[in-house]
Amino acid sequence: MQRIERVRELQAWSDGVRAAGGRVALVPTMGALHPGHLSLVRHAYRCADRVIVSIFVNPTQFGAGEDFSFYPRDLERDCELLRELGTDVVFAPPVKEVYPEGWSTWVEVEGLTGGLCGRNRPGHFRGVTTVVARLFHAAKPHVAVFGEKDYQQLAVIRRMARDLLLDVEIEGAPTVREPDGLAMSSRNRNLSEEERLQARALHAALREAALSVRAGERRSAVLIESVRRQIAEQPAACVDYVEIVDPDTLDPVASIVRRAVLAVAVRFPKARLIDNALLETA
Ligand code: AMP
Protein backbone atom coordinates (compact mmCIF):
# COMPACT_ATOMS: atom_id res chain seq x y z
CA MET A 1 0.00 0.00 0.00
CA GLN A 2 1.31 3.40 -0.97
CA ARG A 3 0.91 6.44 1.26
CA ILE A 4 0.73 9.67 -0.73
CA GLU A 5 0.58 13.21 0.61
CA ARG A 6 1.05 15.29 -2.54
CA VAL A 7 -1.64 16.02 -5.14
CA ARG A 8 0.81 15.89 -8.07
CA GLU A 9 2.03 12.47 -6.96
CA LEU A 10 -1.52 11.14 -6.69
CA GLN A 11 -2.43 12.53 -10.11
CA ALA A 12 0.63 10.81 -11.62
CA TRP A 13 -0.30 7.51 -9.95
CA SER A 14 -3.84 7.72 -11.25
CA ASP A 15 -2.66 8.69 -14.75
CA GLY A 16 -0.47 5.57 -14.71
CA VAL A 17 -3.38 3.26 -13.79
CA ARG A 18 -5.60 4.89 -16.42
CA ALA A 19 -2.91 4.64 -19.12
CA ALA A 20 -2.65 0.90 -18.42
CA GLY A 21 -6.42 0.56 -18.89
CA GLY A 22 -7.22 0.27 -15.17
CA ARG A 23 -10.27 1.67 -13.44
CA VAL A 24 -9.72 3.88 -10.39
CA ALA A 25 -12.11 4.28 -7.44
CA LEU A 26 -11.94 6.92 -4.71
CA VAL A 27 -13.36 6.55 -1.21
CA PRO A 28 -13.24 9.92 0.58
CA THR A 29 -13.16 9.74 4.40
CA MET A 30 -12.19 11.81 7.39
CA GLY A 31 -10.44 8.84 9.01
CA ALA A 32 -11.05 7.26 12.42
CA LEU A 33 -12.14 4.35 10.29
CA HIS A 34 -14.80 1.84 11.33
CA PRO A 35 -16.42 -1.11 9.53
CA GLY A 36 -18.78 1.28 7.70
CA HIS A 37 -15.82 2.92 5.96
CA LEU A 38 -14.24 -0.46 5.24
CA SER A 39 -17.46 -1.64 3.57
CA LEU A 40 -17.12 1.33 1.19
CA VAL A 41 -13.62 0.16 0.29
CA ARG A 42 -14.92 -3.36 -0.46
CA HIS A 43 -17.71 -1.79 -2.50
CA ALA A 44 -15.09 0.24 -4.38
CA TYR A 45 -13.19 -2.90 -5.34
CA ARG A 46 -16.37 -4.26 -6.90
CA CYS A 47 -16.49 -1.15 -9.14
CA ALA A 48 -12.80 -0.68 -9.98
CA ASP A 49 -9.36 -2.31 -10.22
CA ARG A 50 -7.51 0.11 -7.96
CA VAL A 51 -8.77 1.99 -4.91
CA ILE A 52 -7.60 5.24 -3.34
CA VAL A 53 -8.86 6.03 0.17
CA SER A 54 -8.46 9.66 1.16
CA ILE A 55 -8.15 10.55 4.82
CA PHE A 56 -8.58 14.25 5.37
CA VAL A 57 -10.38 16.03 8.18
CA ASN A 58 -11.71 18.87 6.10
CA PRO A 59 -11.67 22.16 8.00
CA THR A 60 -14.07 23.96 5.64
CA GLN A 61 -17.03 21.71 6.42
CA PHE A 62 -16.95 22.38 10.17
CA GLY A 63 -18.76 25.43 11.46
CA ALA A 64 -17.66 27.64 14.36
CA GLY A 65 -18.20 25.73 17.59
CA GLU A 66 -18.33 22.35 15.82
CA ASP A 67 -15.99 19.46 16.60
CA PHE A 68 -13.10 20.08 14.15
CA SER A 69 -10.44 20.27 16.85
CA PHE A 70 -11.61 17.18 18.73
CA TYR A 71 -12.69 15.14 15.71
CA PRO A 72 -11.00 11.73 16.27
CA ARG A 73 -7.75 11.22 14.35
CA ASP A 74 -5.75 7.96 14.18
CA LEU A 75 -3.84 7.78 10.90
CA GLU A 76 -1.53 4.90 11.84
CA ARG A 77 -4.39 2.61 12.85
CA ASP A 78 -6.42 3.65 9.80
CA CYS A 79 -3.49 2.74 7.52
CA GLU A 80 -3.14 -0.61 9.25
CA LEU A 81 -6.83 -1.42 8.64
CA LEU A 82 -6.60 -0.33 5.02
CA ARG A 83 -3.40 -2.32 4.43
CA GLU A 84 -5.17 -5.45 5.74
CA LEU A 85 -7.93 -4.84 3.18
CA GLY A 86 -5.39 -4.60 0.36
CA THR A 87 -6.01 -0.92 -0.39
CA ASP A 88 -3.75 0.43 -3.14
CA VAL A 89 -3.29 4.02 -1.98
CA VAL A 90 -3.98 6.09 1.12
CA PHE A 91 -4.03 9.78 0.28
CA ALA A 92 -3.54 11.74 3.50
CA PRO A 93 -2.56 15.28 2.49
CA PRO A 94 -1.70 18.18 4.79
CA VAL A 95 -4.28 20.99 4.79
CA LYS A 96 -2.02 23.26 2.68
CA GLU A 97 -1.95 20.66 -0.10
CA VAL A 98 -5.74 20.73 -0.48
CA TYR A 99 -6.12 24.43 0.26
CA PRO A 100 -2.98 26.14 -1.11
CA GLU A 101 -2.06 29.58 0.16
CA GLY A 102 -4.44 32.22 -1.23
CA TRP A 103 -7.11 29.79 -2.52
CA SER A 104 -10.46 31.40 -3.22
CA THR A 105 -12.62 28.95 -5.19
CA TRP A 106 -15.66 27.35 -3.55
CA VAL A 107 -18.04 24.83 -5.08
CA GLU A 108 -21.61 25.24 -3.93
CA VAL A 109 -24.79 23.31 -4.74
CA GLU A 110 -27.91 25.37 -4.12
CA GLY A 111 -31.37 24.13 -3.20
CA LEU A 112 -30.60 20.62 -1.98
CA THR A 113 -28.36 22.06 0.72
CA GLY A 114 -30.98 24.35 2.26
CA GLY A 115 -32.88 21.83 4.41
CA LEU A 116 -32.09 18.97 6.80
CA CYS A 117 -28.45 19.28 7.97
CA GLY A 118 -27.96 22.39 5.82
CA ARG A 119 -30.44 24.36 7.91
CA ASN A 120 -28.53 24.05 11.18
CA ARG A 121 -25.04 23.75 9.72
CA PRO A 122 -24.72 26.76 7.40
CA GLY A 123 -21.74 26.38 5.06
CA HIS A 124 -21.29 22.69 5.85
CA PHE A 125 -22.20 21.37 2.40
CA ARG A 126 -20.26 24.12 0.68
CA GLY A 127 -17.22 22.76 2.52
CA VAL A 128 -18.09 19.19 1.53
CA THR A 129 -18.57 19.93 -2.18
CA THR A 130 -15.47 22.13 -2.24
CA VAL A 131 -13.26 19.39 -0.80
CA VAL A 132 -14.84 16.56 -2.81
CA ALA A 133 -14.34 18.51 -6.06
CA ARG A 134 -10.66 18.96 -5.12
CA LEU A 135 -10.27 15.30 -4.20
CA PHE A 136 -11.77 14.34 -7.55
CA HIS A 137 -9.21 16.49 -9.37
CA ALA A 138 -6.41 15.04 -7.26
CA ALA A 139 -7.42 11.38 -7.59
CA LYS A 140 -8.96 11.43 -11.09
CA PRO A 141 -11.26 8.50 -10.25
CA HIS A 142 -13.68 6.78 -12.62
CA VAL A 143 -15.97 6.13 -9.67
CA ALA A 144 -16.33 7.48 -6.13
CA VAL A 145 -18.14 5.71 -3.28
CA PHE A 146 -20.15 7.45 -0.54
CA GLY A 147 -22.30 6.07 2.28
CA GLU A 148 -26.09 6.27 2.30
CA LYS A 149 -25.87 7.10 6.01
CA ASP A 150 -25.10 10.66 4.94
CA TYR A 151 -28.09 10.71 2.64
CA GLN A 152 -28.16 14.44 1.95
CA GLN A 153 -24.41 14.48 1.30
CA LEU A 154 -24.80 11.71 -1.28
CA ALA A 155 -27.65 13.59 -3.00
CA VAL A 156 -25.64 16.83 -3.03
CA ILE A 157 -22.54 15.14 -4.48
CA ARG A 158 -24.59 13.41 -7.17
CA ARG A 159 -26.02 16.82 -8.11
CA MET A 160 -22.58 18.47 -8.13
CA ALA A 161 -21.22 15.72 -10.41
CA ARG A 162 -24.17 16.12 -12.75
CA ASP A 163 -24.17 19.93 -12.78
CA LEU A 164 -20.40 20.21 -13.35
CA LEU A 165 -20.43 17.46 -16.01
CA LEU A 166 -17.84 15.57 -13.97
CA ASP A 167 -16.73 12.31 -15.53
CA VAL A 168 -17.04 10.44 -12.22
CA GLU A 169 -19.71 7.87 -11.37
CA ILE A 170 -21.15 8.34 -7.90
CA GLU A 171 -21.92 5.10 -6.06
CA GLY A 172 -24.01 4.92 -2.89
CA ALA A 173 -23.32 2.13 -0.39
CA PRO A 174 -25.63 0.87 2.38
CA THR A 175 -25.29 1.92 6.03
CA VAL A 176 -23.35 -0.47 8.25
CA ARG A 177 -24.78 -0.78 11.76
CA GLU A 178 -23.80 -2.00 15.20
CA PRO A 179 -25.60 -5.20 16.27
CA ASP A 180 -28.22 -3.10 18.11
CA GLY A 181 -28.92 -1.01 15.00
CA LEU A 182 -26.94 2.17 15.73
CA ALA A 183 -25.37 3.43 12.50
CA MET A 184 -21.59 3.23 12.79
CA SER A 185 -19.97 6.64 12.98
CA SER A 186 -16.61 8.03 14.02
CA ARG A 187 -18.58 10.28 16.35
CA ASN A 188 -20.07 7.35 18.32
CA ARG A 189 -16.86 7.20 20.33
CA ASN A 190 -17.74 10.60 21.81
CA LEU A 191 -20.81 9.07 23.51
CA SER A 192 -20.68 8.01 27.16
CA GLU A 193 -21.75 4.46 27.97
CA GLU A 194 -25.18 5.69 29.02
CA GLU A 195 -25.58 7.90 25.93
CA ARG A 196 -24.53 5.01 23.74
CA LEU A 197 -27.49 3.00 25.10
CA GLN A 198 -29.85 5.90 24.54
CA ALA A 199 -28.61 6.29 20.96
CA ARG A 200 -30.27 2.98 20.07
CA ALA A 201 -33.53 4.94 19.97
CA LEU A 202 -32.61 6.51 16.60
CA HIS A 203 -32.62 3.34 14.56
CA ALA A 204 -35.41 1.77 16.62
CA ALA A 205 -37.68 4.74 15.89
CA LEU A 206 -36.77 4.79 12.19
CA ARG A 207 -37.45 1.08 11.86
CA GLU A 208 -40.79 1.36 13.58
CA ALA A 209 -41.78 4.18 11.21
CA ALA A 210 -40.77 2.09 8.18
CA LEU A 211 -42.95 -0.75 9.49
CA SER A 212 -45.90 1.63 10.10
CA VAL A 213 -45.69 2.76 6.48
CA ARG A 214 -45.74 -0.85 5.29
CA ALA A 215 -48.79 -1.37 7.54
CA GLY A 216 -50.64 1.52 5.87
CA GLU A 217 -49.72 4.78 7.65
CA ARG A 218 -49.12 7.51 5.06
CA ARG A 219 -49.24 10.75 7.08
CA SER A 220 -45.81 12.30 7.56
CA ALA A 221 -46.94 14.36 10.57
CA VAL A 222 -48.04 11.24 12.47
CA LEU A 223 -44.82 9.38 11.71
CA ILE A 224 -42.62 12.37 12.57
CA GLU A 225 -44.41 12.91 15.87
CA SER A 226 -43.91 9.28 16.86
CA VAL A 227 -40.17 9.37 16.02
CA ARG A 228 -39.74 12.66 17.90
CA ARG A 229 -41.47 11.24 20.96
CA GLN A 230 -39.32 8.10 21.05
CA ILE A 231 -36.10 10.10 20.77
CA ALA A 232 -37.23 12.74 23.27
CA GLU A 233 -37.70 9.96 25.85
CA GLN A 234 -33.89 9.67 25.95
CA PRO A 235 -32.67 12.18 28.55
CA ALA A 236 -29.33 12.99 26.86
CA ALA A 237 -30.80 13.30 23.36
CA CYS A 238 -31.91 16.57 21.81
CA VAL A 239 -33.69 16.35 18.45
CA ASP A 240 -32.17 18.61 15.81
CA TYR A 241 -34.67 17.55 13.13
CA VAL A 242 -36.96 14.73 12.11
CA GLU A 243 -38.15 15.11 8.51
CA ILE A 244 -39.74 13.09 5.76
CA VAL A 245 -38.54 14.16 2.34
CA ASP A 246 -38.69 13.24 -1.33
CA PRO A 247 -35.71 10.92 -2.05
CA ASP A 248 -34.51 13.02 -5.01
CA THR A 249 -35.42 16.65 -4.32
CA LEU A 250 -35.18 16.38 -0.49
CA ASP A 251 -38.31 18.56 -0.29
CA PRO A 252 -40.57 17.72 2.69
CA VAL A 253 -43.61 15.59 1.77
CA ALA A 254 -46.91 15.68 3.67
CA SER A 255 -47.76 12.08 2.83
CA ILE A 256 -45.89 9.08 1.56
CA VAL A 257 -46.59 8.18 -2.03
CA ARG A 258 -44.54 5.11 -2.95
CA ARG A 259 -41.18 6.16 -1.42
CA ALA A 260 -39.79 8.80 0.89
CA VAL A 261 -36.78 9.24 3.15
CA LEU A 262 -37.12 9.72 6.88
CA ALA A 263 -34.06 11.58 8.13
CA VAL A 264 -33.09 12.45 11.70
CA ALA A 265 -30.34 14.40 13.43
CA VAL A 266 -29.94 14.18 17.18
CA ARG A 267 -27.55 16.04 19.43
CA PHE A 268 -25.89 14.38 22.40
CA PRO A 269 -23.59 16.43 24.63
CA LYS A 270 -20.46 15.61 22.58
CA ALA A 271 -21.79 14.07 19.37
CA ARG A 272 -24.37 14.95 16.77
CA LEU A 273 -25.70 11.77 15.19
CA ILE A 274 -27.61 11.40 11.93
CA ASP A 275 -29.45 8.47 10.43
CA ASN A 276 -32.15 7.81 7.85
CA ALA A 277 -34.50 5.15 6.56
CA LEU A 278 -36.22 4.62 3.27
CA LEU A 279 -40.01 4.50 3.71
CA GLU A 280 -41.75 2.36 1.11
CA THR A 281 -45.46 1.74 0.80
CA ALA A 282 -45.03 -1.75 -0.66
P1 AMP B 1 -16.75 10.33 7.23
O2 AMP B 1 -15.38 9.82 7.49
O3 AMP B 1 -17.66 10.28 8.41
O4 AMP B 1 -16.75 11.66 6.51
O5 AMP B 1 -17.40 9.31 6.21
C6 AMP B 1 -16.74 8.93 5.03
C7 AMP B 1 -17.68 8.11 4.20
O8 AMP B 1 -18.10 6.97 4.93
C9 AMP B 1 -18.97 8.87 3.82
O10 AMP B 1 -19.30 8.56 2.47
C11 AMP B 1 -19.98 8.31 4.79
O12 AMP B 1 -21.29 8.36 4.29
C13 AMP B 1 -19.50 6.87 4.90
N14 AMP B 1 -19.97 6.25 6.13
C15 AMP B 1 -19.90 6.75 7.39
N16 AMP B 1 -20.50 5.91 8.26
C17 AMP B 1 -20.98 4.87 7.53
C18 AMP B 1 -21.70 3.67 7.85
N19 AMP B 1 -22.05 3.39 9.11
N20 AMP B 1 -22.00 2.82 6.86
C21 AMP B 1 -21.65 3.10 5.58
N22 AMP B 1 -20.96 4.20 5.21
C23 AMP B 1 -20.63 5.08 6.17
C-alpha–C-alpha distance, residues 274 and 240, integer Å: 9
**Best residue among 150, 178, 182 to mutate for probing ligand 1, ranked by most atoms within 8 Å of CB:** 150
Domain 186-280 has CATH 3.30.70.270: no
The 10s digit of each residue's pLDDT in 97-122 is: 999 999 999 999 999 999 999 999 99
Strand order in the sheet with 169-173: 2-4, 89-91, 50-55, 24-29, 143-147, 169-173
3.40.50.720, 3.40.1000.10, 3.10.20.600, 3.40.50.620: CATH of 2-173: 3.40.50.620
Contact 36, 176 (CB under 8 A): yes
Q: State yes or no: pLDDT of 53 exceeds 90.
A: yes
Q: Residues of the chain with pLDDT > 90: what percent? A: 98
Give me the mean pLDDT over the 10-19 stretch.
98
Q: State yes or no: pLDDT of 168 exceeds 90.
A: yes
Which residues' Cβ are closer than 6 Å to ligand 1?
A: 29-30, 36-37, 39-40, 146-147, 149-150, 173, 175-176, 183-186
C-alpha–C-alpha distance, residues 213 and 198, integer Å: 24
What are the residue boundaries of the structural domains of the chain, listed by start?
2-173, 186-280
**Model pLDDT, residue 70:** 85
Give me the mean pLDDT over the 244-267 stretch.
98
Atom of ligand 1 nearest to the CA of 39: 21
Residue nearest to atom 5 of ligand 1 (CA): 29
**Model pLDDT, residue 90:** 99
